[in-house]
A and B are shown apart, each in its own frame.
Chain A
Amino acid sequence: MKINPNIAINENGLLFNPSTGESFRVNPTGARVAELLKEERSLDVIISKIQEEYEVDRYTLEKDIADFIQLLKNNALIQNNE
């Protein structure tokens, strides 16, 4: 699983998908997860990275990231290569 690599995320939380021309807004945590997804890290690595930076328990984070990934899929921002 990885996010479309040509997607651009700016520091104001705007996310642009050049292949469809659609724009999105992401919140800071969303931007961070999307960035990490671009680098194709495993979910485990992403989770520990976020946990290093944010005050959150693992259980909540796992659940929320799964939900976020579903939102990315709904918006055709993720290629599911599994």
Chain B
Amino acid sequence: MEKKRYERPVIKRLETGVPAKFGRPQKPEIMSDIDGVSVESLVNQFGSPLYVYSEKQIRDKYRKAYKAFSTRYPKVQFAWSYKTNYLGAICNVFHQEGSWAEVVSGFEYDKARALGVEGSKIIFNGPDKSVEDLEKAIKNDSPIHIDHLDELYTLIELSGKAGKKPSVAIRINMDTGIYPRWDRFGFNYENGQAWDALNKIMHSGKLELIGLHTHIGTFMLSTEAYRVAAIKMADLARGLKDKFNHKIKYIDMGGGFATANTLKGSYLPGDDITPSIEDFAEAITSALVNAHFSTDELPVLVLESGRALIDEAGYMIGTVLANKRLATGQRATIADIGVNLLFTSFWYEHKVKPAQEVTQFTEPSKIYGPLCMNIDIMRDNIELPLLNKGDRFVVHHTGAYNNTQWLQFITLRPNVVMIDENGQPHLIREKESLEDIKKLEQIPEHLRNFEL
């Protein structure tokens, strides 16, 4: 006789008055494959935990976003936000789709260059650009987005040395009616700082002002904030035309569009409340087309959307290490994915689906990672099917920021794979080894030996 699949015995008290809910319990969704490749085969080949990207889903997302904007506005250019995910294979998918690069450090800048992105298509943002970084950017004709006055003066100085006008934009911060207001980056719109910087640039004669930039926040759920921001950006662009008869080439609205993830503490799941990319596109483009630009003045609309283009195309496969019951009576599942690998579990209630058959029985559970740290919690309270030790599960919407903010802590960072459009998995970042870690360390002579 073939034995049945085991599930640990559980019992649940039925609340009186709500029989319907339990009358026909819903079977939890399972996810046994990603883009047609079975979770089990991925683990067999690449191990667990494992990061998995779907090339098809990245391209679909990008094309949908590009279409949403380009059908509403004639000139649109995306620039891939490197900090969101700078694995080379991921960046190149975006570059193949036509995205420029958006970087915020010398390291990211060099990475984009190493991948083969032309200097003039690398937007250089952020408060931390060294003199060498700036010189490089000037030489390569990269758009430099000025964050503060110190940088502005440095650029004026470097412009003289280089014998060439750096192409610049300034970053604007503003009140868009949302909280928190990101006023630490760039120049403020309302208090006149923005105009002060624009006047300085125009009067200096040393810098080529090609654009205006803003990035109003991240994981934004309000389309209205973008409409307000676009109106203010258009107002500055129109003002430059009036005052200096100067035409800028682009308005860069940054990124920040929310994804289907559920923010911690949110009453409603992310899929239900996140505006669509079309909603964001409508808010921004309608503000720009209704601004008083003549047709030949219409600036290119640049977008630096990060998370919205990659979050949902990334998954993490994990394995159950153990189950236990906490002193409170709550069930706890210990998984091999810690917060060092899934940094975003500090912000999101990540969706978790089992990778093998389960029944409709669930238990309110916590999911802990394997680190010996109290903060290592993937999910604080989740109705989880009854997973056994060794079972696999798939964590959803992990594509943004995890492969850039991950920490080498206690464990080594695991493999990252991408499934191509034909369902073929490719290793895109090899798991770290002890050698990789040791390579960077040096042990002074007097510390080489010991006796125990």
Interface residues in chain A, defined as those with a beta carbon under 8 Å from any beta carbon in chain B: 14-15, 22-30, 32-34, 52-56, 60-61, 64-65, 67-68, 70-72, 74-75, 77
Render B422-446 as a binary contact track against A, CB cut-off 8 A, 1 for contact. Answer: 0000000000000000000000000
Is B6 in contact with chain A by the CB < 8 A criterion?
yes
> Are B11 and A71 closer than 8 Å at their CB atoms?
yes
Is B8 in contact with chain A by the CB < 8 A criterion?
yes
CB within 8 Å of A: which B377-399 residues? 386, 388-389
User: When chains A and B are docked, how far (Å) is the Cα of A65 from the Cα of B5?
Assistant: 16
- Residue among B12, B22, B325, B359 with the highest chain A CB neighbour number at 10 A: B12
With A29-B8, A70-B325 as given contacts, are A54 and B14 in contact (CB-CB < 8 Å)? no
> Are A55 and B6 closer than 8 Å at their CB atoms?
yes
Please name 10 pairs of A and B residues whose Cβ atoms are closer than 8 Å in the assembled complex, sorted by A: A23-B13, A26-B9, A29-B7, A30-B9, A30-B10, A32-B9, A33-B9, A53-B3, A65-B9, A71-B11
> Are B11 and A54 closer than 8 Å at their CB atoms?
no
With A53-B4, A60-B389 as given contacts, are A23 and B14 in contact (CB-CB < 8 Å)? yes
Which residues of A sit under 8 angstroms from B386, Cβ to Cβ? 27
Is B329 in contact with chain A by the CB < 8 A criterion?
yes
With A60-B388, A67-B325, A70-B325 as given contacts, are A26 and B6 in contact (CB-CB < 8 Å)? no
> Are B8 and A74 closer than 8 Å at their CB atoms?
no
> Are A25 and B7 closer than 8 Å at their CB atoms?
no
Among A24, A32, A70, the residue within 8 A (CB) of B12 is A24
> Are A54 and B8 closer than 8 Å at their CB atoms?
no
Is B361 in contact with chain A by the CB < 8 A criterion?
yes
Q: Which chain B residue lies CB-closest to A52?
A: B3
B315 to chain A, nearest CB (A): 27
User: When chains A and B are docked, how far (Å) is the Cα of A42 from the Cα of B83?
Assistant: 60
Q: Which range holds the interface residue count of chain B? A: 20 to 34
Q: Is the interface of B mostly helix, strand, loop or mixed?
A: loop
Which residues of A sit under 8 angstroms from B5, Cβ to Cβ? 54-55
A15 to chain B, nearest CB (A): 7
> Are B329 and A74 closer than 8 Å at their CB atoms?
yes
> Are B6 and A68 closer than 8 Å at their CB atoms?
no
Render B327-353 as a binary contact track against A, CB cut-off 8 A, 1 for contact. Answer: 001000000000000000000000000
- Residue among B7, B11, B329 with the highest chain A CB neighbour number at 10 A: B11
Among A15, A55, A65, the residue within 8 A (CB) of B11 is A15
Minimum-distance CB pairs A-B, first 10: A30-B9, A56-B6, A64-B8, A68-B9, A54-B6, A27-B361, A29-B9, A55-B3, A23-B14, A33-B9
- How many inter-chain residue pairs (CB < 8 Å) link A and B? 75
Which residues of B sit under 8 angstroms from A65, Cβ to Cβ? 9
With A60-B388, A60-B389, A67-B325 as given contacts, are A25 and B11 in contact (CB-CB < 8 Å)? yes
Which residues of B sit under 8 angstroms from A72, Cβ to Cβ? 11
B293 to chain A, nearest CB (A): 64
A21 to chain B, nearest CB (A): 9
> Are A27 and B14 closer than 8 Å at their CB atoms?
no
Which residues of A sit under 8 angstroms from B359, Cβ to Cβ? 27-28
Given known contacts A32-B9, A60-B8, what 4 new A-B pairs fall within 8 Å (CB)?
A: A24-B11, A26-B11, A27-B10, A74-B329
> Are B4 and A71 closer than 8 Å at their CB atoms?
no
User: When chains A and B are docked, how far (Å) is the Cα of A24 from the Cα of B11?
Assistant: 7
Which residues of A sit under 8 angstroms from B389, Cβ to Cβ? 60
B160 to chain A, nearest CB (A): 74
> Are B6 and A29 closer than 8 Å at their CB atoms?
yes
User: When chains A and B are docked, how far (Å) is the Cα of A25 from the Cα of B11?
Assistant: 6
User: When chains A and B are docked, how far (Å) is the Cα of A77 from the Cα of B11?
Assistant: 11
User: When chains A and B are docked, how far (Å) is the Cα of A23 from the Cα of B13?
Assistant: 6
Which residues of B sit under 8 angstroms from A55, Cβ to Cβ? 3-6
B9 to chain A, nearest CB (A): 4
- Residue among B9, B12, B388 with the highest chain A CB neighbour number at 10 A: B9
Q: Which chain B residue lies CB-closest to A71?
A: B11
Which residues of B sit under 8 angstroms from A68, Cβ to Cβ? 8-11
B169 to chain A, nearest CB (A): 60
- Residue among B3, B10, B329, B386 with the highest chain A CB neighbour number at 10 A: B10
B55 to chain A, nearest CB (A): 36
> Are B8 and A25 closer than 8 Å at their CB atoms?
no
Q: Which chain A residue lies CB-closest to B14?
A: A23
